[in-house]
C-alpha cells in the first residue's frame, strides 16, 4: 500500500480549495478525495503496462 500523498493533498486543499488549516485538517482523506473528484471527475488507478508503453511511445523523453 502506498502512503497517503499528503504533499499533494495539502497543495490541493490550501492552493485550490483555499481551505484554512483548521478546515483542511478537519477533513478525512475520503472527504478530500470527494472534493477533488467533484472538481476533476473520478480518478482511475495507474495505467497498466500496455497503456504506459503506448504513452511512452507517443511522448518519448528528450524531444
What is the pTM assigned to this prediction? Answer: 0.60
Q: Would residue 11 count as lying in a domain?
A: yes
pLDDT band at 18 (very low <50, low <70, confident <90, very high): very high
How many structural domains is the chain composed of?
1
Residue 63: what pLDDT? 56
Q: Would residue 63 count as lying in a domain?
A: no
Residue 6: what pLDDT? 85
> Which residues span the domain enclosing 27?
6-58
Burial of 24 (0-12, 13-18, 19+ CB in 10 A): middle
For residues 47 and 19, the model is more confident at 19
On the question of pLDDT at 43 being above 80, the answer is no
Burial of 30 (0-12, 13-18, 19+ CB in 10 A): exposed
Amino acid at each position: 500500500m502506498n502512503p497517503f500523498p499528503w504533499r499533494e493533498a495539502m497543495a490541493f486543499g490550501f492552493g485550490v480549495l483555499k481551505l484554512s488549516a483548521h478546515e483542511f485538517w478537519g477533513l478525512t482523506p475520503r472527504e478530500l478525495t470527494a472534493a477533488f473528484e467533484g472538481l476533476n471527475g473520478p480518478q482511475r488507478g495507474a495505467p497498466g503496462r500496455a497503456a504506459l508503453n503506448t504513452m511512452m511511445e507517443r511522448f518519448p523523453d528528450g524531444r
